[in-house]
Structure 1
Amino acid sequence: MTTNEEGAAQVAIVDGMDVALPPGPVTGEAVLRAAGAEPVQAHLLVRTDGGRARVVAAGERLDLALGDVPEFRSFRSGEVRHLRVAGSVWAWGAPAILEDDIRAIAGFDDDYEVVLDGAGVRPGGLVDLTGEFPPMVGLRPCGYGTAMVPIVVNGRERAVAERELTFERLVDLAFPNLPVEASRSFTVTYRRGPADRPEGSLVADQATRLEPGIRFNVTATTKS
């Protein structure tokens, strides 16, 4: 088994199999070669540990914390496709992604179901990634009630199954077709909310409980 400069073994999981990595600093190209993904130029490497999926460039030097076993998926494709999972942007190398893969990578437990645009995805089902815009994937408790909560987002009436909404979900509801750009920021405010806080604002990773008729205002700003 190979070791790094400190003598610790370097191992990765690629496509579900243990792969011995070369000693010293490791790049995306080195992972592909170790996994037998040749020619390297024809493959896409996606790292799947850490709760999300992201592309690893061939020349990118990987941060391999001592004791951690990084996980990857390789694709014989140069095309990167995207989806949003619980507010985070993921990358994938196939035209669709399995519900099982979403659940495993995100760490969703069996008490929750994967939801696509508000509708449950059957276990083992596929989420299509070939559309013009990245699909929005979330989760909700299994057996969640069918009663819908009426809300208003940017003056438009909506009905959602959730009992609370996150900042990221509200951005998706307000701007479902807006391309992902690092230069864009969002502001979320609300009124007619729960009795303990009927008005307020949200930032990334925050959420608020819903009351029927709660009104949200979501604005997008491009950073200069």
Structure 2
Amino acid sequence: MKQFECLSDPVDATFDGCSPMNTAGEIVVNGRRIAIDGGALDAETVAMLVGHRSDSVVISLRFGLARHFDPVDPINFERKTPMVFRTFPDGALFSLLVSNTRWDWGSPTISVEEVRAIAGLDRQSVLVLGDLEQRLADDAMIDLAALAAPMLNVRPGISQGRQHGGGEAGPLHLLESDRTAAARIGTPANARESRVN
């Protein structure tokens, strides 16, 4: 049997995505639990359930990703899978890359805290920005309005010369950047060994 990962909602931290759904069915929109009768669900309905305009940007937060809920294609309501959404009534669509996976967002900024909540990352994981791997503070805001989509990577936290934790922090834990992978793969083994000695 397939198990689904727990999702956190960045608006309501008390909703962990594993809470039991009621028999009529529930979705979570902007941190609010809303009972629905099942069937097909579209972006317009999700926006209107929380009093937003029908043309609002709706983002689906499932499986550790943030994806634009296409306003044209409805999805079938699944009682077994937590369905969590964020709506942006005056929003536009912005993109970012998190560990080489494209995310969508409805605002020109996203907080590190929101990225952590959506991806299911623990506090020991460190988010870094760009090829220079600038470490992001927990209270940082990430600008999505730049010409190129920002690239975030997840690194293990380091404290006093050792790595935190022993287990996986989430679906994006310990993925290396393209630059690091290219350097590791593109360097002959004897050259790597000579650098160590």
**Do these two structures clear the TM 0.5 threshold for a shared fold by scoring above it?**
yes
Q: 1 CA distance for matches of 2:193 and 2:144?
A: 33
Structure 2 residue aligned with 1:92: 105
Report whether the alignment pairs 1:138 with 2:153.
yes
Structure 1 residue aligned with 2:139: 124
Q: Does the CA contact (< 8 Å) of 2:91 and 2:107 recur in 1?
A: no
Q: 2 CA distance for matches of 1:211 and 1:13?
A: 52
Q: Does the CA contact (< 8 Å) of 1:21 and 1:31 recur in 2?
A: no
- 3-state secondary structure, aligned to 2:40: coil
Q: Does the CA contact (< 8 Å) of 2:127 and 2:135 recur in 1?
A: yes
Structure 2 residue aligned with 1:46: 59
C-alpha change, 1:143 and 1:171, in structure 2 (3 Å) is closer
- 3-state secondary structure, aligned to 2:104: strand
Structure 2 residue aligned with 1:190: 186
1:144, distance to aligned residue in structure 2 (A): 6.2
C-alpha change, 1:73 and 1:91, in structure 2 (3 Å) is same
C-alpha change, 1:103 and 1:62, in structure 2 (3 Å) is same
**Cα deviation 1:189-213 (Å, max 9, x = unaligned):** 62414x7xx9xxxxxxxxxxx8787
Higher relative contact order (CA 8 A, sep 6+): 2
- 3-state secondary structure, aligned to 1:48: strand
Name the structure where strand makes up a greater proportion of residues.
Answer: 1
Q: 2 CA distance for matches of 1:212 and 1:60?
A: 56
- 3-state secondary structure, aligned to 1:100: helix
List runs of 5+ in structure 1 lacking aligned partners: 1-6, 147-163, 175-187, 199-209, 214-224
C-alpha change, 1:212 and 1:170, in structure 2 (3 Å) is farther
Structure 1 residue aligned with 2:11: none
List runs of 5+ in structure 2 lacking aligned partners: 1-21, 162-173
Q: Does the CA contact (< 8 Å) of 1:28 and 1:62 recur in 2?
A: no
What residue identity is the alignment partner of 1:123?
D
If you compute each CA radius of gyration, which structure gives the higher value, 1 or 2?
1
Name the structure where helix makes up a greater proportion of residues.
Answer: 2
RMSD: 3.1
Q: Does the CA contact (< 8 Å) of 2:155 and 2:175 recur in 1?
A: no
The number of residues matched between the two structures is: 160
- 3-state secondary structure, aligned to 2:47: helix
Aligned-pair identity in percent equals 25
Q: Does the CA contact (< 8 Å) of 1:29 and 1:59 recur in 2?
A: no
1:124, distance to aligned residue in structure 2 (A): 1.9
Report whether the alignment pairs 1:107 with 2:103.
no
C-alpha change, 1:58 and 1:101, in structure 2 (3 Å) is same
Q: TM-score, normalised by structure 1?
A: 0.61
C-alpha change, 1:69 and 1:110, in structure 2 (3 Å) is same
What residue identity is the alignment partner of 1:26?
L
C-alpha change, 1:12 and 1:173, in structure 2 (3 Å) is same
C-alpha change, 1:77 and 1:145, in structure 2 (3 Å) is farther
Structure 1 residue aligned with 2:86: 73
1:135, distance to aligned residue in structure 2 (A): 0.5
